[in-house]
Amino acid sequence: MEDSIFDGPLKNALYRTFWICAFLSNMGTWIQEVASSWVMTNLNSSPLIIALLSFVNSLPVIFLSIPSGYFSDLGYRRHILLAAQGLMFFSGCFLAFFAFAGSMTELRLLILSLFMGVGVALSSPAFQSVLTDLVPTPMHAQAVLVYYMGLNITRVLGPSTGGVILSTLGPGAAFLINSASFLGLIFFFWKWPIKDSAQNYGKTKINPDDWLPLFSLHNLKLWAEILIVTFFTAALWALYPTRGRVEIGMDSVEYGSLLAFLGLGACVSVLFSKKLMTAENAKKSLAGSYFVFGLGTLLLGLASEYYQVCIAMGLGGVGWLVLATLMNMSSRQITGKSKLRATMLGVFLAVFYAGYALGAVTWGAFAKAAGTKSSLALAALGLLFIGCFKFWLDAKRRQN
């Protein structure tokens, strides 16, 4: 009998320890995602102010992910990961303190969310490169897939758990649990015998040719597509708190379940990932993901009942997993033999979150002026148009 895709990587003790620590950390992150937006909707009902949460979470990635990736490639990866996880741990502690003390304000929540974003920006390029360092080369693809399977499970369990915690223990407990969830990764990176410690600084020689993949015309087109698409997808992420909490009036459990339905949608995509993620179907799958996410965004704007919002978030999850995964894979492939692998991942993250941050504040401002329904409808139309256009380009390419 053949082993399942989980057996190989998870039989490796080092990878298994990392996977468990990352799973718990991702659970905490989704719990905080629910708690932060819930607290902000209680502090201020303006869609622009609520959307600023998405903006400040994304802003640091734009400016810090590329230098973080570069210094990771030079040999400071372990130190960067420890510093980033520590920063997020202390930010979570302060969020919990202010929530328990009843002294949380919009500004404090935004500033501490900004520090969380700094931690994400610093850790993401190095963190993603860790996945394939813990197992032998033949298991690299399995290791990445098993990690993302765990991430999708937390997308379902984390928000639902967050909603229950909010309704029973309050937001302070949710923030404290998220803070504690970083301790496992801090311990892991502290003890992990990482190969490229800072002692290797200067031994990694970066040549001019290593930078060439970044500036090719093909890759510039890829960056442009990522920027434009994430600009439109940001509307759903930035405005679902306003639609669910403020306009439809959901309770904490219903509100927490919205991201869980998005996670369920992502899990549906995973079931068909073997066919969707093939090289020959990648362009068509990417176009389809834009279209499906656009439909979810449109339905979110039209929804008037809880179940309708759940369907909208589920469609968003189906589209989100495919578009985010294929964009990430495309960015990994362009590095070729370049030594700047973490740097290129940093570029991808910077462009991805630049579109996301710009979209969050733009759609939030538009929603304040014209209403969330109009803002979501306009963003949905943009995604539907891009999806149809990409379908047309792919059909034309196949004919030729």
Q: Using the 8-state DSSP alphabet, how is residue 5 labeled? A: T
Between 111 and 279, where is the model more confident?
A: 111
Q: Residue 202: is its pLDDT beyond 50?
A: no
Longest pairwise C-alpha distance within the chain: 66
In a domain, residue 215? The reply is: yes
CA 190 and chain centroid, separation: 25
Confidence of residue 7 (pLDDT cuts 50, 70, 90): low
- The kind and range of the H/E element at 89 are helix 77-101
**Where residue 52 falls among pLDDT bands split at 50, 70, 90?**
very high
Give the distance from CA 280 to its chain's centroid: 26
Residue 2: pLDDT over 80: no
Q: Which residue has the higher pLDDT, 86 or 279?
A: 86
pLDDT-derived band of residue 209, with 50, 70 and 90 as boundaries?
low
Q: What is the DSSP string of 203-270?
A: TSPPPGGGGHHHHSHHHHHHHHHHHHHHHHHHHHHHHHHIIIIIIS---HHHHHHHHHHHHHHHHHHH
Residue 228's CB: how many other CB atoms inside 10 A? 15
> Quick check: is 2 in a domain?
no
Question: What is the per-residue pLDDT for 210?
Answer: 62
pLDDT for position 132: 72
**CB 19, CB 10: distance < 8 Å:** yes
Q: What mean pLDDT, rounded, does the chain reach? A: 86
Average pLDDT over residues 138-167: 82
Shortest CA distance to 51 belongs to which of 379, 362, 366, 360?
A: 360
Residue 10's pLDDT is 83
For residue 200, is it within any domain?
no
User: What are the residues whose beta carbons fall under 8 Å from the beta carbon of 97, sequence distance 6 or more?
Assistant: none
* pLDDT for res 70: 84
Which of the residue ranges 334-343, 347-356, 364-373 would you say has the lowest mean pLDDT? 334-343
The reply to whether 266 falls in a domain is yes
Residue ranges making up the domain that contains 338:
7-195+208-399
Does a structural domain hold residue 37? yes
The pLDDT tens digits for 270-279 are 777 767 767 6
Model pLDDT, residue 165: 94
CATH assignment of the domain containing 361: 1.20.1250.20
| Residue 336 per-residue DSSP state | T
Alpha-carbon span 227 to 336, nearest angstrom: 22
CA-closest candidate to residue 267, choices 150, 161, 383, 131? 150
Amino acid at 135: V
Least confident residue range of 17-26, 149-158, 207-216, 256-265: 207-216
User: Residue 162's pLDDT band (boundaries 50, 70, 90)?
Assistant: very high
- Give me the pLDDT at residue 123, please: 92
Q: What is the average per-residue pLDDT within 242-248?
A: 93
Q: Check: CB of residue 177 under 8 Å from CB of residue 162.
A: no
Does residue 203 fall inside a structural domain? no
Number of domains the chain contains: 1
Burial of 153 (0-12, 13-18, 19+ CB in 10 A): middle
Q: What is the mean pLDDT of residues 49-58?
A: 91
Judge whether residue 122 has pLDDT over 90.
Answer: yes
CA distances for 215 relative to 67, 326, 355, 400, angstroms: 17, 20, 19, 27
149 vs 3, residue with greater confidence: 149
Q: Tell me which residue of 269, 383, 247, 382 sits closest to 321, measured CA to CA.
A: 269
- 337: number of Cβ within 10 Å: 8
User: Quick check: 160 and 257 in contact, CB under 8 A?
Assistant: yes
Q: For residue 197, what is the DSSP state? A: -
Q: What is the pLDDT of residue 147?
A: 82
pLDDT surpasses 90 at 193: no
Q: Is 63 among the domain residues?
A: yes
| Average pLDDT, integer, range 359-373 | 95
Q: How far apart are CA 61 and CA 374, in angstroms?
A: 29
pLDDT of amino acid 326: 77
The reported pLDDT for the residue numbered 335 is: 59
- Predicted confidence band of residue 197 (pLDDT cuts 50, 70, 90): very low
Tens digit of each residue's pLDDT (9 = 90 or more) over 9-26: 888 888 899 999 999 999
- Least confident range from 172-181, 200-209, 216-225, 384-393: namely 200-209
The pLDDT score that the predictor gives to residue 366 is 96
CA-to-CA distance for 353 and 292, rounded, in angstroms?
20
